[in-house]
């Protein structure tokens, strides 16, 4: 999997940071994209990447503040113009349905693909298929705001070719059946069980994406053992009173979550426009003083999980 950060700022667009949006490339056969939040001008930033709207399968919305949703109606319309025909699902807090449907109706936009909108009713599983499970928990913000845990299910173990050869099993379609764990009967009458020739499952990756919040126990729960944690860090630690007043996190708050959750890496996101490029070094040092493997995302940054 891979991230492309399309907007890493907070509140209002700035010259170097657009407002919130993050694309997750599943890197599967379909090259599917999941989008997390869709601030103003998200689709414009997409034009500067290799992302195709028709490949977008799901959009997860953390909360309904404008800097996280104002780009959504335009993106949905453009997906039709660009030939998107496959279904698209939006998952977000209560009210996202009204926002999307009202925007489409009043603007007389035409959506030429199946659009499904699911509102989060409670903490728990919001999506699951054969490969992924997505869980959410409510965070601490001025309005309902959610974090997401994206867990890749364990991948099947590899076929142990050397063991197959040692057993004298000739190559051919039988290898595929063994890989699936099936029983096979060879022409000479020998019987083998596929499970005896399969290695240990490969552990699936875990990603946590934390929306706007104060320091939160639920954020720690969602991030437990994650490979990558993306956490808002709107304010410097010297501005912790402002952060608390506006229901946001500081650099050190995000680092505390990473440390307590035992993640592999932390990516700071949602940086206030009050901080300029020359301030980023100090912001990074604040977080690294608690959790060393920390990075600050820039617009168009990419990270491989």
Burial class from Cβ neighbours inside 10 Å (0-12, 13-18, 19+) for residue 113 reads middle
| Predicted local distance difference test score (pLDDT) of residue 225 | 98
DSSP string covering 210-261: E-S-SS-HHHHHHHTT-SEEEEE--B-GGGHHHHHHTT--BHHHHHHHHHHH
Task: For residue 105, give the H/E element and its range.
Answer: helix 96-106
Give the chain's domains with CATH numbers: 2-155+202-304 (3.60.15.10), 161-197 (no CATH)
Q: Are 278 and 267 a contacting pair, CB within 8 Å?
A: no
| Predicted local distance difference test score (pLDDT) of residue 155 | 87
Nearest 5 degrees, angle CA 234-CA 235-CA 241?
125
Q: Does residue 37 carry a catalytic annotation?
A: no
Spatial distance between the Cα atoms of 286 and 141, rounded to a whole number of angstroms = 23
Spatial distance between the Cα atoms of 222 and 229, rounded to a whole number of angstroms = 9
| Predicted local distance difference test score (pLDDT) of residue 156 | 87
Quick count: other Cβ atoms within 10 Å of Cβ 117? 17
Q: Digits of tens for pLDDT over the chain (305 positions)?
A: 999 999 999 999 998 999 999 999 998 878 999 999 999 999 999 999 999 999 999 999 999 999 999 999 999 999 999 989 999 999 999 999 999 999 999 999 999 999 999 999 999 999 999 999 999 999 999 999 999 999 999 988 999 999 999 999 999 999 999 998 999 999 999 999 999 999 998 899 999 999 999 999 999 999 999 999 999 999 999 999 999 999 999 999 999 999 999 999 999 999 999 999 999 999 999 999 999 999 999 999 999 99
Give how far Cα 60 sits from Cα of 72, 92, 147, Å: 11, 6, 10
For the CA atoms of the chain, what is the radius of gyration?
A: 22
Instruction: Write phi, then psi, for 54 (nearest 5 degrees).
Output: -65, -20
Torsion, CA 23, CA 271, CA 250, CA 26, rounded to 10:
10
> Catalytic residue among 37, 67, 212, 239, which?
67
pTM for the whole structure = 0.92
**CA-closest candidate to residue 1, choices 230, 213, 228, 271:** 228
Spatial distance between the Cα atoms of 221 and 194, rounded to a whole number of angstroms = 37
| Predicted local distance difference test score (pLDDT) of residue 242 | 97
Q: In what order do the strands lie in the sheet with 228-232?
A: 124-128, 132-138, 146-152, 206-210, 228-232, 265-269, 294-296
Spatial distance between the Cα atoms of 224 and 187, rounded to a whole number of angstroms = 50
**CA-closest candidate to residue 119, choices 41, 38, 57, 64:** 64
């Amino acid at each position: 999997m891979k991230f492309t950060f399309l907007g890493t700022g907070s509140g209002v667009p700035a010259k170097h940071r657009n407002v919130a949006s993050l694309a997750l490339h599943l890197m599967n056969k379909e090259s599917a994209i999941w989008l997390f939040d869709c601030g103003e001008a998200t689709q414009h930033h997409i034009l500067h990447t290799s992302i195709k709207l028709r490949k977008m399968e799901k959009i997860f919305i953390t909360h309904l503040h404008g800097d996280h949703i104002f780009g959504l109606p335009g993106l949905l319309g453009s997906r039709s113009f660009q030939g998107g025909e496959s279904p698209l699902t939006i998952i977000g807090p209560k009210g996202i349905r009204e926002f999307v449907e009202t925007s489409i109706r009043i603007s007389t936009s035409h959506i030429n693909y199946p659009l499904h909108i699911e509102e989060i009713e409670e903490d728990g599983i919001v999506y699951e298929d054969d490969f992924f499970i997505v869980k959410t928990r409510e965070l601490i913000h001025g309005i309902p705001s959610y974090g997401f845990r994206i867990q890749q299910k364990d991948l099947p173990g590899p076929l142990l070719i050397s063991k197959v050869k040692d057993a004298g099993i000739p190559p051919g379609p039988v290898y595929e059946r063994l890989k699936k764990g099936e029983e096979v009967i060879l022409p000479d009458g020998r019987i083998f069980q596929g499970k005896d020739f399969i290695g240990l499952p490969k552990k699936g990756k875990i990603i946590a994406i934390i929306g706007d919040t104060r320091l939160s126990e639920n954020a720690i729960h969602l991030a437990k053992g994650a490979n990558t944690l993306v956490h808002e860090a709107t304010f410097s630690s010297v501005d912790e009173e402002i952060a608390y007043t506006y229901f946001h996190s500081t650099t050190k708050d995000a680092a505390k979550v990473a440390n307590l959750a035992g993640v592999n890496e932390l990516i700071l996101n949602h940086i206030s426009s009050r901080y300029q490029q020359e301030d980023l070094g100090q912001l990074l040092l604040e977080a690294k003083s608690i959790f060393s493997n920390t990075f600050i995302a820039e617009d168009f940054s990419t990270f491989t999980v």
